[in-house]
Amino acid sequence: MLKAIVHTDWTTGTINKNIYGHFSEHLGRCIYEGLWVGEDSPIPNTDGIRNDVLEALRELKVPVLRWPGGCFADEYHWRDGIGPRETRKRMINTHWGGVVENNHFGTHEFFRLCELIGAEPYICGNVGSGSAQEMSEWLEYMTFDGESPLANLRRQNGRDKPWKLKYFGVGNENWGCGGNMLPEFYADLYRQFQTYCRQYGDNKLYKIAGGANSDDYRWTDVLMKKAAGQMDGLSLHYYTVPGTWQEKGSATEFEASDWEITMRKALHMDELLTRHGTVMDQYDPERRVSLIVDEWGTWFDVEPGTNPGFLYQQNTMRDALVAAAHLHIFHKHAHRVQMANIAQLVNVLQAVVLTEGNRMLRTPTYHVLKMYAVHQDAEALALHGEFGSFSSEGGQPLPHVGATASKKDGVVHVSLFNMHPSEDASVKLELRGADAAYHEEAYVLAGDAIGAHNTFDEPDRVVPKPLQIAGQDGGYQVRLAPASVATISFKPKA
Ligand code: AHR
């Protein structure tokens, strides 16, 4: 019998809402088409940003949005993206597809997007091909309220008051596309660049150093040893790639065996957080410096016939399970992980929204993040149980079910997944320490196949549906379909 026992009176820490963060890069059709269509577009928009996507993102409660990259960040020169749009530089996006970047979406447009969806901005500066001066001047342009050439330039460009900007990344993947640096060299550069990231007025920056790739623990060690005192956060990037980087595998055409491999790779995030966290503990036992997983998600082969540099992939119930598994892991590591940003927001990698012309769809990943939004800024609850396991390949066993729980304003939320691709899971759920009688409401996301996904012709093939749960022996009986994700709310009865 599978069991999940939630201790409603035993909290284990706050789940920072920012672990539900997102990432938007000048890559493929994420910014252009996906978000920005321009004010003159026939696609309904607000100040150039498409309304259908805005509405979907508002519903999702996006807490924080990272921009402009990614690899693009270390080639981005912010001055190219300000001033009258018709005079902005047209240049090549050398990293992603060699296409024209017209710079119509720049600093002002990014802040407007954040304002429209209620997200906090997280900007990544250019270390790889920029200078400390350029970075410093961007911050002055964005956040200085007084009299200065850059604050005046901002005013001239239509923005009188400075924006509030907390999260600032000093470079991206500086071990790779951000300059191919060794950790010692980057640590020195980080120390230098962050010196000129000034805090103006009451704008307090939260400085994030470019962190490790996957299991490069040495990178974390060197950065913490040399620069922990100068940073608030250190990033980590890890993608779930079922195959090799050359042949990653199709996003939609896969077997149960590929499903298992993908889940095993997704669950590797737990080990990464434990081990990077252990390295960080040596230098920062108080856990002042947070781990910022500012790129995560699935990475498959691009959809046939699309530009290989655009990283456009479909999104199925497999992505939904990968998302749920990551969120459970982030909840577990909430003491160190203060932000995570799924890659990427629209039309790129594990996107929550896909667009085609004037059409838009919400992916299964979108629905998971929306069902799980109740955990944002909630108190995580201790939980134990018997979750079962399976492995048809003789590989490392996978959990049959996963569970995570939190409490906010007296309401207990329990999220569960059934990772098995073909078997139901019958879970006995118990709430301990509860003195209230509850009113339950439950939703489940399940497909009719493990590769089930939404298309522009059938955008609601995979959507959350009400889930019936039955009271049993002072607890509840929850039956989960194969490859499904659910969230149950327990509201105290008045
Ligand atoms: O998200 C796509 C790319 O993956 C990012 O630009 C880069 O940071 C990472 O390698």
DSSP codes of every residue in 9-31? EEEEEE--GGGGEEE--SSTTTT
Ligand 1 centre to CA of 1 (Å) is 42
Cα(121)–Cα(139) distance, integer angstroms:
13
Ligand 1 centre to CA of 463 (Å) is 29
User: Which residues does the annotation mark as catalytic?
Assistant: 173, 295
Note the pLDDT tens digit of each residue in 412-424.
999 999 999 999 9
- Give bridge partners of residue 474 from the DSSP assignment: none
Ligand 1 centre to CA of 480 (Å) is 34
Check: CB of residue 480 under 8 Å from CB of residue 401: yes
Q: Give the model's pLDDT for residue 393.
A: 65
Give, as one character, the DSSP assignment of residue 78. G
Candidate of 174, 177, 240, 347 to mutate for ligand 1, largest count of ligand atoms within 8 Å of Cβ? 177
If one counts every other C-beta atom within 10 angstroms of the C-beta of residue 94, the result is 13
Q: Residues lining ligand 1, CB < 6 A?
A: 25, 69-71, 172-173, 295, 343-344, 349
If one counts every other C-beta atom within 10 angstroms of the C-beta of residue 205, the result is 18
Average pLDDT over residues 230-252: 97
Note the pLDDT tens digit of each residue in 4-61.
999 999 999 999 999 999 999 999 999 999 999 999 999 999 999 999 999 999 999 9
Average pLDDT over residues 435-461: 94
- Indicate which atom in ligand 1 lies nearest the CA of residue 96: 6
Note the pLDDT tens digit of each residue in 123-175.
999 999 999 999 999 999 999 999 999 999 999 999 999 999 999 999 999 99
Cα(35)–Cα(48) distance, integer angstroms:
8
Tokens 């990037």: give the residue. 237
Note the pLDDT tens digit of each residue in 282-323.
999 999 999 999 999 999 999 999 999 999 999 999 999 999
Average pLDDT over residues 476-484: 97
If one counts every other C-beta atom within 10 angstroms of the C-beta of residue 382, the result is 15
Counting beta carbons within 10 angstroms of the beta carbon of residue 490, is it exposed (0 to 12), middle (13 to 18) or buried (19 or more)? buried
Q: Which residues contact 14 (CB under 8 A, 6 or more apart)?
A: 334, 377, 378, 379, 380
Cα(377)–Cα(18) distance, integer angstroms:
8
Instruction: Give the mean pLDDT of the chain.
Output: 97
- Indicate which atom in ligand 1 lies nearest the CA of residue 25: 6
The enclosing H or E element of 412 equals strand 411-418
What would the two tokens of residue 483 be?
Answer: 């490859």
Average pLDDT over residues 84-106: 95
- Indicate which atom in ligand 1 lies nearest the CA of residue 311: 2
Give, as one character, the DSSP assignment of residue 303. P
Note the pLDDT tens digit of each residue in 161-171.
999 999 999 99
Angle at which helix 256-283 crosses helix 217-227, to 10 degrees, equals 20
Q: Give the model's pLDDT for residue 493.
A: 86
